[in-house]
């Protein structure tokens, strides 16, 4: 039986090309989702699962990732002097005090697998969680804790799987699975990176949460570049499916909650709208405006009629 997961790794060193030019000087994980950068939601999720050791993999031109979680004393002093800014001050301070944060640089963005291998020294020989910095799970839904529990029970690796419409599976890693006695847990029998819909073994997509055994580092060290010339973590995990492999087996938790992908432009917009609608402070006014806006843009509405502010 392996030890319970204590450390989380957030790879955030990608180039974010889908958001260029916004991501020329700003990491995509720092793009605001309402009023927090995407990566802060991810760190908060880690903390809710009981982990307080977080390693963020950063890259060149990404100092804002570190700055965001650091104190800004002058800002705090200014807010402190204004009684009306108490709540803001608390929120600013909370963002600097979330967890024990560590940073390592991935010198060149050779892919997610390569980014994960940059965590080897920090993680050591224990299972660990990996969360993608642009993939958000709603705080009302539990995923990471469930994955950690499954890993504690079964050992090996645990992947987060989401059912997607068959025409979307080509955007994801895809898992062939067998059922277990537990309804939301499956045994993974094969992984295929971004298959065409007709070749996909299922409509279960890998989303940005993993619990991995430390043997993944040994496999990654020998994994050649795959799709797109990048070292793919999926290729390395696939090697741990082999019943003879040390570091397996590989299980999946089928997630049925709310997930927001902020790494893609259209999904980023949807994420912001959904999260804003559900916010107690913004939601009521924003929903009313959105209803009116949507009605004005529906096929029967006239897109040329300006919406009143
Ligand atoms: P993505 O492929 O979604 O991110 O990788 P990207 O490469 O930044 O974005 P596009 O496709 O060019 O728009 C998934 C996650 O893995 C990280 C990214 O930062 C993202 O959070 N990643 C990817 C790394 O840390 N290093 C890499 O070499 C590649």
State the distance from the centre of ligand 1 to the C-alpha of 274, rounded, in angstroms.
23
For the chain, the helix, strand and coil percentages under 3-state DSSP, each to the nearest 5: 40, 20, 40
| Global confidence as pTM | 0.93
Residue 260 confidence (pLDDT): 94
* 269 in any annotated domain: no
Cβ distance 276 to 282 under 8 Å? yes
* 274 in any annotated domain: no
Q: What domain range includes position 114?
A: 7-263
- Separation between Cα atoms, residue 269 and residue 201, nearest integer Å: 30
| CB of 186 closer than 6 angstroms to any ligand 1 atom | no
* 215 in any annotated domain: yes
Nearest to 65 by CA among 111, 22, 17, 13: 13
State the distance from the centre of ligand 1 to the C-alpha of 194, rounded, in angstroms.
15
| CB of 173 closer than 6 angstroms to any ligand 1 atom | no
Residue 87 confidence (pLDDT): 87
* 201 in any annotated domain: yes
Cβ distance 27 to 64 under 8 Å? yes
Residues in the chain, overall count? 309
| CB of 248 closer than 6 angstroms to any ligand 1 atom | no
Q: Indicate which atom in ligand 1 lies nearest the CA of residue 132.
A: 21
State the distance from the centre of ligand 1 to the C-alpha of 79, rounded, in angstroms.
35
| CB of 113 closer than 6 angstroms to any ligand 1 atom | no
For a ligand 1 pocket test, name from 37, 112, 136, 226 the mutation site with the most ligand atoms within 8 angstroms of its C-beta.
Answer: 112
Q: Indicate which atom in ligand 1 lies nearest the CA of residue 109.
A: 28
- Atom 16 of ligand 1: nearest residue by CA position: 112
- Atom 15 of ligand 1: nearest residue by CA position: 132
Q: How many CB atoms are closer than 10 A to CB 290?
A: 14
* 298 in any annotated domain: no
State the distance from the centre of ligand 1 to the C-alpha of 1, rounded, in angstroms.
32
Residue range 262-287: mean pLDDT, rounded: 94
In this predicted model, what pLDDT tens digit does every residue of 78-122 receive, in sequence order? 888 888 888 889 888 888 889 999 999 999 889 999 999 999 999
- Confidence grade of residue 306 (pLDDT, cut at 50, 70, 90): low
| CB of 62 closer than 6 angstroms to any ligand 1 atom | no
Tokens of 156: 């090996």
The residue ranking higher by pLDDT, 251 or 308, is 251
| CB of 225 closer than 6 angstroms to any ligand 1 atom | no
* 255 in any annotated domain: yes
- Separation between Cα atoms, residue 111 and residue 147, nearest integer Å: 24
- Confidence grade of residue 2 (pLDDT, cut at 50, 70, 90): low
| CB of 263 closer than 6 angstroms to any ligand 1 atom | yes
- Separation between Cα atoms, residue 36 and residue 41, nearest integer Å: 7
Q: What is the CATH number of the domain that holds 175?
A: 3.90.550.10
Residue 305 confidence (pLDDT): 62
In this predicted model, what pLDDT tens digit does every residue of 149-191 receive, in sequence order? 999 999 999 999 999 999 999 999 999 999 999 999 999 999 9
* 270 in any annotated domain: no
Q: Please count the structural domains in the chain.
A: 1
Residue 302 confidence (pLDDT): 60
| CB of 203 closer than 6 angstroms to any ligand 1 atom | no
* 299 in any annotated domain: no
Tokens of 8: 């989380």
Q: Indicate which atom in ligand 1 lies nearest the CA of residue 133.
A: 21
């Amino acid at each position: 039986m392996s030890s319970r997961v204590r450390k989380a790794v957030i790879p955030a060193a990608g180039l974010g090309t889908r958001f260029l030019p916004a991501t020329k000087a700003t990491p995509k994980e720092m793009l605001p989702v309402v009023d927090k950068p995407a990566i802060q939601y991810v760190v908060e999720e880690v903390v809710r699962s009981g982990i307080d050791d977080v390693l963020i993999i950063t890259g060149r031109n990404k100092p804002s990732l570190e700055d965001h979680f650091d104190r800004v004393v002058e800002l705090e002093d200014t807010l402190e002097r204004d009684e009306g800014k108490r709540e803001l001050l608390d929120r600013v301070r909370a963002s600097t005090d979330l967890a024990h944060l560590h940073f390592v640089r991935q010198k060149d963005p050779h892919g997610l697998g390569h980014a994960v291998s940059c965590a080897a020294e920090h993680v050591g020989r224990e299972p660990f969680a990996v969360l993608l910095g642009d993939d958000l799970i709603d705080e009302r839904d539990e995923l990471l804790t469930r994955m950690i529990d499954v890993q504690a029970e079964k050992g090996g690796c645990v992947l987060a799987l989401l059912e997607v419409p068959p025409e979307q599976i080509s955007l994801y890693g895809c898992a062939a699975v067998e059922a277990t006695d537990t309804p939301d847990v499956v045994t993974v029998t094969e992984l295929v990176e971004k298959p065409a819909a007709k070749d996909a073994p299922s409509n279960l997509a890998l989303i940005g949460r993993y619990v991995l055994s430390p043997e993944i580092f040994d496999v990654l060290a020998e994994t050649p570049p795959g799709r797109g010339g990048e070292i793919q973590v999926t290729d390395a995990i696939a090697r741990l499916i082999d019943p003879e492999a040390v570091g397996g087996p590989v299980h999946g938790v089928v997630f049925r909650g709310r997930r927001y992908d902020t790494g893609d432009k259209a999904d980023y917009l949807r994420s912001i709208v959904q999260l804003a609608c559900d916010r107690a402070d913004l939601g009521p006014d924003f929903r009313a405006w959105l209803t009116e806006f949507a009605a004005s843009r529906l096929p029967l509405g006239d897109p040329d009629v300006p919406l009143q502010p």
